[in-house]
Structure 1
Amino acid sequence: MSSKAFIRVFIFLTFCCSTLLCQLVVNVKNKGDEVIVESIHANTTSDTVTLEYLNTDGTLVTLFIDFKSEAQLFKVIMPGEEELGDTQPQTICFITRFSHSDFISSDAMSKLRQKNPTAIRTPEEEKAPGTYTHDLRVDLVKSHVISPHIYNVCQDAVDSIHFTESDLRTISRSLSKDYATMMSAMEKHEPTKYARCMDTQEIDRPCLCRFDLCIGWYPCGLKYCRGKDTVGKVVSYRCGIKTCKRCLTFFHVVDTKRGCLWDV
């Protein structure tokens, strides 16, 4: 077995083991009509939700939402490109501000029950694509100033944890955090100074990398119905969830084109 195949099998087995403990398993088709299996788990104690799936190319994607810190972490683990002499998996973390209206609460998520784990789910709404241009690189050791969960989720990314200054400002105001303290954990970049990696010929030259991912199915809101209570009064009650799909594009600066070999 090649090292690339071994890494893919290892990631797949790790993913399958984690799904045994997950709360919800969802099957959803991607644009190529391939079935992607998502696992979703809610932790009401820490007020977090984790969504994870293994892409058909062997890439493992984890979405971790920290409701208290208003931050969501996208962790991506990609198998190495053996044909290009890169046999080690690569891990990247993208951090964005989280809006509570984008996902149901961890408490509501914890109350969902699996009805038919083999069914193919179709989202009710496809959200407009989102684009983030990351101009900050986060120091893993100081990452707790954003969220206490970044260290555990992104520790394998080390020098590839990316954030945006605009989201940093918004979170600092919303949670009354000291902006200067938060900025002290960041390394500033100017994405406009760099050429796209796809247009860069020198393999050791820094460039602006693009990465795309899609969350094919997730609970994006609650549904409410109207009815009458025992005395005939009209009341509103929760009667289901609304599901969505969203695709995102992340731009970030890499030290060399070697860190962005997929952007061609």
Structure 2
Amino acid sequence: MNARVALVQIAFVVFTLLLSVSVCSQLTVLVRLNDGQITEELLEADSEKDIITVEFRQTDGTLITFLSDFKRHVKIFHALVLGEPEKGQSQYQALCFISHLDHGELIPSEAMARLRQKYPHVVRSADERRSVEQFTMNAALNMSRSWHLSTHIHNVCRDARDLVYTRQQDVKYWLEKGSVFDVFPQSLNVTDLQSCSSTTDPWQPCACSYRLNLEWFPCQLKYCRGQGSNPYKCGIKSCSKGYRFDFYMPHKQLCLWDEDNYYP
């Protein structure tokens, strides 16, 4: 009798694990970057948590992570930038940018979880190139209470420490929606600061800029019409989009990439 109960318990555990796996998926896509190089892009979807994660490595070694939290209407950009020891930098520097996730920016997580590719060795190019979106990040998020806004912020941004930025307009939106979280009280007004690229003093506060591109992500579902009158899902539309972030840096030494990349 005990053996039978044990078998039932084991079967239940296996079934539970299968259920948990069924709501998650991983997809590796070959993508051509803006500089012509090819990289592997990892797309993960969890329909139970209602999130999509896109991760890839740029040619310079920077690791980019983009997470969309559909439940909390939050999108997270994380950049792990390799440092330059010859310029006095540490081995790496992490940046994190938090913003409001608009409806329709990506396909739903449940649709992403079911997405498969027939030819995994084909290098993908986006169907649509969307315009660059510029963010003026004028608030710093207090990481100690970020879980009230989204539990994923701490996991994605834990190595960014004090360099976790958002916008005052996003803060207002989330507070109106009932979220409870903290931003640091000081205003991070970057419009009155000199740009880091034109600052000569390495220890002077300045306005830093960072730009990244998501070269391929599923942005829209495609619908086809068969013999019946009701359309059905028959694929996805892919998009490419650039993002520019302007934000406060306590000193130029933390923004040395701005010397090498001028963003007009």
User: Considering the TM-score relative to the shorter chain, is it more than 0.5?
Assistant: yes
- 2:170 corresponds, among 167, 170, 188, to 167
- Deviations 1:20-42, CA, capped at 9 Å, x for gaps: x9611111212321112110000
Within-5 A mapping of 1:1-264:
23-173=26-176, 176-177=177-178, 181-184=180-183, 187-229=186-228, 234-264=229-259
Deviations 1:184-227 (A, max 9, x none): 56643111221100111110111000001000000001011112
Q: Which residue of 1 aligns with 2:17?
A: none
CA contact (8 A) 1:138 1:185 kept: yes
- Give secondary structure in 1 for the equivalent of 2:28: strand
Higher alpha-carbon Rg: 2
Unmatched 5+ stretches in structure 1: 1-20
Number of residue pairs matched by the alignment: 236
Tell me the CA shift for residue 167 of structure 1: 1.6
- Secondary structure of the structure 2 residue equivalent to 1:198: helix
Contact 1:65–1:73 (CA<8 Å) still a contact in 2? yes
- 1:155 & 1:186 partners in 2: Cα distance? 20
**SS of the residue aligned with 1:144?**
helix
C-alpha deviation, 1:258, in angstroms = 1.1
**Counterpart of 1:8?**
none
Cα RMSD after superposing both structures: 1.6
What SS does the aligned partner of 1:192 have?
coil
Runs of 4+ aligned structure 1 residues displaced above 4 Å come to 183-187
Work out whether residues 143 and 185 of structure 1, in 8 Å CA contact, stay in contact via their aligned partners in 2: no
Q: TM-score, normalised by structure 2?
A: 0.85
Letter in 2 for 1:255: P
Letter in 2 for 1:202: D
AA partner of residue 187 (structure 2)? K
**Distance change (3 Å), C-alpha of 1:185 and 1:87:** closer
TM-score (norm 1): 0.85
Kindly indicate whether the alpha-carbon contact (under 8 Å) linking 1:79 and 1:88 is maintained by their aligned counterparts in 2.
yes
* Counterparts of 2:212 and 2:55, CA distance in 1: 12
Give the drift of 1:171.
Answer: 3.0
Amino acid at match of 2:123: I
Cα offset for 1:145? 2.9
How far did residue 103 of structure 1 move? 0.1
Q: Tell me, yes or no, if the aligned pair for 1:41 and 1:49 is still in contact at 8 Å.
A: yes
The alignment-based identity, stated in percent, is 34
Consecutive unaligned residues in structure 2, runs of 5 or more: 1-23, 260-264
- Corresponding letter in the other structure for 2:201: E
